[in-house]
Every structure is written in C-alpha cells, then in structure tokens.
Amino acid sequence: MLLLKPFSRALPALLAASALLLVPACNRPVEEEPVIQVEAAAAVTVNGDPIFVSEVELEAVARGLISPGDTFGPGDENYDLVLDQLIDQKLMAQEALNRRLDKGAAAERRLEVARERILGNLLVESLVASEVNEDSIEAMYKEQVALQQEDDEVAIAHILVETEEEARNLHQQIQDGATFESLVVSNSLDTTTRMENGDLGYVAPNNMADPFPVVIANTKVGEVSEPFLSADGWHLLKVKDRRTSPPKTRAEMRPEIVTFLTLNQVSKILRRLRTEAQIEKGEKTTNIVPDSALSLESEGDLLKEQPASDEQGREL
C-alpha cells in the first residue's frame, strides 16, 4: 500500500503541475451533485443581449457562493450581486466589440488563451466526474486512517449480536438513554467479554480486521458507533479512551481527499499529454512585453477579486 504524502507537501507539487487550471469542482460533492443545465430563461437583456438565470447560478457556484442545487434566484443577496456584476461585464464586452478591440493578432491570441483556460477547466470537471468518486475517496480515507492510527492505542468495548435488526434496536435504546454497559450482559454473543461489559482493552486499531479501524476512527471517546458488520456478526462499539490523538473523521478529511485526488488526476493526464506531445521551444527574441495594467492571469476572470513520484509516500 502506498503512503500519501502530507497535504502540506503533496499539494504544492500537484498545484504546480496544474497552475493554469482553475479547479472550482474540487470541493463539491461527488456523484450526488446535481448537474446545472444551461436554461433559456433570461435574467435580463442588455442591449438585446441576454444574460441567462443559469449563467448567474453557474457564476455563483464557481465562486463558491452557493452549492449546485441550492435554492437561488431573484431577491437573494448573492444573486443580485452576481447579476449586477455580469451586467457590468456584458456592457464592457459590448463596448469593447463596438471599439473593435477584438480585432488584431494580439487580441485574438488573448481571447484564444482565455478559451484554452476554460477548456482546461472543463477537462478538470470531467476528470472529477469520472475519477473522483465515492469509492476512490473511501479507499484513500482507509489508507489515511491506517497511517494516522499507526501509534494509537484505543480502549474499546463491544456488543456482538447476530442480526442488523438486533444491533439497531440496541443502538436505539442507547440513543433513548440506556447505558452501553447495561445492555452487554443480556445481549452480547461474545462470551469472552460479555461479563466484562464488553471490554476488549487497549488495542492497536491497525491490527484489527476491517472495518474496525475505520469505525474506531469515526467514533469519539465516550461515544457508541453505529451498528456495523464484521465476519463475526453485527457490532456496537464504544470507544472508552485514546492514548493518542484521534485521526480526522471521513467527513472532516473528505474535502482534502477530493482536492488531492482531483489534482493528482490533473497531474497524471498532464504527464501523459506532455509525453505524447511534440513540444518545440522557439528561438530567443528581443520582443518587449507591452506595459499593461492587465495580465493574462486575470484574463476571462475579471469578476473575481485577485488575492494580494509514485514510490514516494502518500500520507496526507
């Protein structure tokens, strides 16, 4: 099993490989995320040129103001703000066209660069949809749990029953106020621990069979886990004590994992494309870059505020 480099070391390398790409999809939910369709309903028309409601929503999602599927429309503070700025952008674009500023080799090349950046973003979104799924997130989370619990010693107790129905019934009793210990003797099938309140003592989570390591990671000290199935039957598990800090839960680590997997996919496809491409460096020239207040970095993104190897380890 490969080990993940710490995020603080791994992400900069991946970001460098994809520095020209925006990754607005990295922190969005995977699979269950609804797709935003471009609809024909116009929010406004500017000199006869429409700005669609879906364009306002897409811009708000890209900025992280909302998530796909959120209720969003006229009257919402963010909606009105984004729409006003899209109107300003449309007016400036129309004026630029009126002045024929889109003509000429330099202007056409800058527009092409902006188009290439958008196409790159579409590729990233496609990679997220196809490669960054719940199975890959779960697999990486299990790796992280194993790595982060290498030196852990956790005191646990359990109740073992035969069916899921029994386990869920006991879990509900605990939710309703019954103590874990009061249910062990009369319900647990584990004769070795039944008379000891289900106590398994201090264990090293990584030495236990699946899914115990992940269950332990996601259960706080003093709490009882949701029912889960092992080779022996259905369990309720109580974490009584930890001698080291617990790892992050799956929910806490998920955004980092999604970002890491996304950038890793970008890095992999860039390595392949560079290997297959014919890249020839041009000769040195004495051309002087024009003095301008604008840079290609902000091209096509005028509305956003501008802020002032496989053998290696894979620990996040």
Query: Radius of gyration (Cα) for the chain, nearest Å?
Result: 27
**Rounded mean pLDDT, 140-154:** 76
Q: Which CATH architecture has domain 152-242?
A: Roll (3.10)
What pLDDT band is residue 207 in, cutting at 50, 70 and 90?
confident
Instruction: Give the pLDDT confidence score for residue 19 in this predicted structure.
Output: 43
Task: In the chain, list all ranges with CATH 3.10.50.40.
Answer: 152-242
Higher pLDDT, 166 or 250: 166
* pLDDT tens profile 73-98: 888 888 888 898 889 988 999 999 99
Q: Which of 181-195, 209-223, 272-286 has the lowest mean pLDDT?
A: 272-286
> Which tokens in the block code for residue 89?
């952008």
pLDDT (average), residues 9-17: 44
What confidence score (pLDDT) does residue 284 get?
A: 67
Q: Between residues 207 and 282, which one has the greater pLDDT?
A: 207
The 8 Å CB, 24+ separation contacts for 203-209 are 203/153, 203/154, 203/155, 203/156, 204/149, 204/152, 204/153, 204/154, 205/145, 205/149, 205/152, 205/154, 206/146, 206/149, 206/150, 206/152
Tokens at 109, concatenated: 């090349």
